[in-house]
Amino acid sequence: MVDVLVVDDDFDLRDTLQEILKDFGYEVAVAGDGREALAWMRSHELPRLVLLDWMMPVCDGASFRAAQLADARLASVPVVLLTADIRLEEKTKALDANAYVKKPVELDTLIDTIRRHSRDS
Amino acid sequence: MFAFSSRAKRSSVPAVRTPLGELQGNPGSVSAGFASADPTKAGDDFAVIMLRPDGRIASWNWAAERVFGLDTAHALGQSFACLYPREAVDAGLPEHDLAAALELGTTVVHEVPRRRSDGTIFRATVSLGAVFGADDSHLGFVEVVQRSERDASPAQRYADSLAKADLVLRSVHDAIVVQDSSGNVLYANDAMATACGLPDGAAMTRTPLEGFPRLLEVFDEQGKPITPLDITFAYDTGAATVEPVLFHVRVRKTNDSRWWLVRRTSLRDEQGRPQLIIHVGSDVTDTVRAREAASSLADATRLLSASLDYATTLRTLAEALVPRLADWAVVILVEEGTPRQVAVAHPDPTLTARARELWERFPVTAERPLSIANVLRTGRARLFPYVNEETLQSFATNEEHLSLLREFQPHSAIFAPIVVCGRTVGVLAFSAVSPRRAYDDADLDLAVELGRRAGNAIEQARLYRDAQRAVHLRDEFLSIAAHELRTPLAALTLQLQSLKMTVSGDALEHDADRFQGRIDKTLRQSNRLARLVDGLLDVSRIAGGQLDLHRQEVDLRTIVSGVCERFAEDAERAGSELSFSNGGPCMGSWDADRLDQVVSNLVSNAIKYGQGKPVEVYCTADGDNGVVTVSDRGIGIAPENLERIFGRFERAVSERNYGGLGLGLWIAQEIAQAHGGRVEVTSTAGEGAVFRLVVPRSSVSAERRHG
* Residues in chain A within 8 Å Cβ distance of B488: 12-13
Give how far A92 is from chain B: nearest CA, Å. 17
Q: What is the pLDDT of residue A106?
A: 82
Cα separation of B707 and B704, whole Å?
A: 5
CATH number of the domain located at residue range(s) B21-151 in this protein: 3.30.450.20
Tell me which chain B residues have a C-beta less than 8 angstroms from the C-beta of A86: 482
**Closest to B110 in 3D by CA, of B149, B76, B80, B139:** B149
Q: Could you tell me if A47 and A84 are in contact, meaning their C-beta atoms sit under 8 angstroms apart? A: no
Specify the pLDDT at position B359.
77
Residue B531 C-alpha, separation from nearest chain A C-alpha, in angstroms: 15
Under 8 Å between Cβ of B155 and B277: no
pLDDT of residue B163: 66
Positive/negative CA dihedral, B391, B394, B397, B400:
positive
Span B400-456, pLDDT tens digits: 888 888 877 788 899 999 988 888 889 998 888 766 677 888 888 888 888 888 888
- How much of chain B, in percent, has pLDDT values that exceed 90? 17
Chain A residues close to B493, C-beta within 8 Å: 104-107
How far is B205 from B194, CA to CA, in rounded Å?
A: 13
Q: pLDDT grade, residue B617 (50/70/90)? A: very high
Task: Using an 8 Å CB-CB cutoff, list chain B residues near A17.
Answer: 494
Give Cα separations from B266 to B153, B181, B187, B244 (angstroms): 15, 9, 14, 13
- A-B Cβ pairs (cutoff 8 Å, strict): 77
Helix axes B556-574, B592-608, angle to 10 degrees: 30
Structure confidence at residue B164 as a pLDDT band (50, 70, 90) = low
Q: Which of B478, B479, B486 best probes binding to A when mutated, by most A CB atoms within 10 angstroms?
A: B486
Check pLDDT > 70 for residue B703.
Answer: no
- Of B664 and A112, the structure prediction assigns the larger pLDDT to A112
Q: What average pLDDT does the segment A39-61 reach? A: 88
DSSP B263: E
pLDDT at B136 over 50: yes
Q: How many whole angstroms separate alpha carbon B626 and alpha carbon B551?
A: 14
Task: Assess contact for B637 and B610: CB atoms under 8 A.
Answer: no
Nearest residue on chain A to B479, judged by CA atoms? Answer: A85
**Contact flag A16-B491 (C-beta cutoff 8 Å):** yes
Residue A114 has pLDDT above 90, yes or no: yes
Instruction: Please judge whether B486 and A23 are an interchain contact, meaning their C-beta atoms are less than 8 angstroms apart.
Output: no
If interface means Cβ-Cβ distance under 8 Å, which residues of chain A face chain B? Answer: 9-13, 15-17, 19-20, 23-24, 55-58, 60, 84-86, 103-107, 110
Strands A49-53 and A4-7, sheet pairing = parallel
Distance between B612 CA and the closest CA of chain A, angstroms: 13
Looking at B284-324, list the stretches that DSSP marks H as alpha helix, in order from N- to C-terminal side.
285-304, 310-321
Facing residue for B657 by CB, picked from A24, A57, A110: A57
Domains defined along chain A, listed by start: 4-107 (3.40.50.2300)
Residue scoring higher pLDDT (B510 or A37): A37
DSSP assignment of B480-549 equals: HHHHHHHHHHHHHHHHHHHHHHHHHTSSS---HHHHHHHHHHHHHHHHHHHHHHHHHHHHHHHHTT----
Domain covering B296-459 in this structure, CATH number: 3.30.450.40
Q: Please tell me which residue of chain A has the smallest CA distance to B656.
A: A55
Segment B204-209 mean pLDDT: 74
The distance of A31 to chain B (nearest Cα, Å) reads 13
For chain B, where do the domains classified as CATH 3.30.565.10 start and end?
A: 547-706
Residue B60 in this model has a pLDDT that exceeds 50: yes
- Report, in angstroms and rounded to the nearest whole number, the Rg of chain A calculated over CA atoms: 13
Q: Find out whether B630 and B666 touch, Cβ atoms under 8 Å.
A: no
Q: Is-contact B602 B668, C-beta < 8 A?
A: yes
- Residues of B at the A interface (Cβ-Cβ below 8 Å)? 479, 482-483, 486-495, 497-498, 501, 507-508, 518, 521, 524-525, 528, 573, 653, 655-659
B479-493 pLDDT, tens per residue?
777 777 888 888 888
Which pLDDT does position B160 carry in this prediction? 66
Distance CA B659, CA B646 (A): 16
* A51 beta partners: A6, A80
- All residues of chain A having their beta carbon less than 8 Å from the beta carbon of residue B657 are 9, 55-58, 60
For the domain covering B155-283, report its CATH number: 3.30.450.20
- For CATH 3.30.450.40, list the domain ranges present in chain B: 296-459
Strands (E), A25-107: 28-31, 49-53, 79-83, 99-102
Q: Phi first, then psi: give them for residue B417, nearest 5 degrees.
A: -75, 145
- Average confidence (pLDDT) over B360-376: 82
Q: Cβ-count burial of B455 within 10 angstroms (0-12 exposed, 13-18 middle, 19+ buried)?
A: buried
Interface test with B, best of A21, A103, A109, A112 (most B CBs within 10 A): A103
Radius of gyration of chain B (CA): 45
User: Between chains, do B498 and A20 touch, taking CB under 8 Å as contact?
Assistant: yes
Say if the Cβ atoms of B498 and A23 lie within 8 Å. Answer: yes
Nearest chain A alpha carbon to B570: A11
Q: Is the pLDDT of residue A7 over 90?
A: yes
Distance from CA of B424 to the nearest CA of A (A): 41
Please give the Cα distance from B176 to B282 (Å, whole number).
Answer: 9
In chain B, where does the domain assigned CATH 1.10.287.130 lie?
Answer: 467-538
- Are the CB atoms for B382 and B375 separated by under 8 Å? yes
Q: Which residues contact A33 (CB under 8 A, 6 or more apart)?
A: A7, A9, A56, A57, A58, A59, A60
| Structural domain B467-538, CATH architecture | Orthogonal Bundle (1.10)
Residues of chain B with CATH 3.30.450.20: 21-151, 155-283
Domain B547-706 is found in CATH 1.10.3720.10: no
pLDDT of residue B39: 42
B282-321 pLDDT, tens digit per residue, is: 888 878 877 777 777 777 777 777 666 777 778 888 887 7
* Of B242 and B258, the one with more pLDDT: B258
| Least trusted range by pLDDT, from B100-104, B296-300, B330-334 | B296-300
Residue B240: phi and psi, rounded to 5, are -60, -45
Least confident span in A52-61, B504-513, B539-548, B598-607: B504-513
ω into residue B323 within 30 of 0, thus cis? yes
Residue B616, phi then psi, degrees to nearest 5: -115, 130
Q: Is 60 exceeded by the pLDDT of residue B463?
A: yes
Q: Do A17 and B494 touch (CB under 8 A)?
A: yes
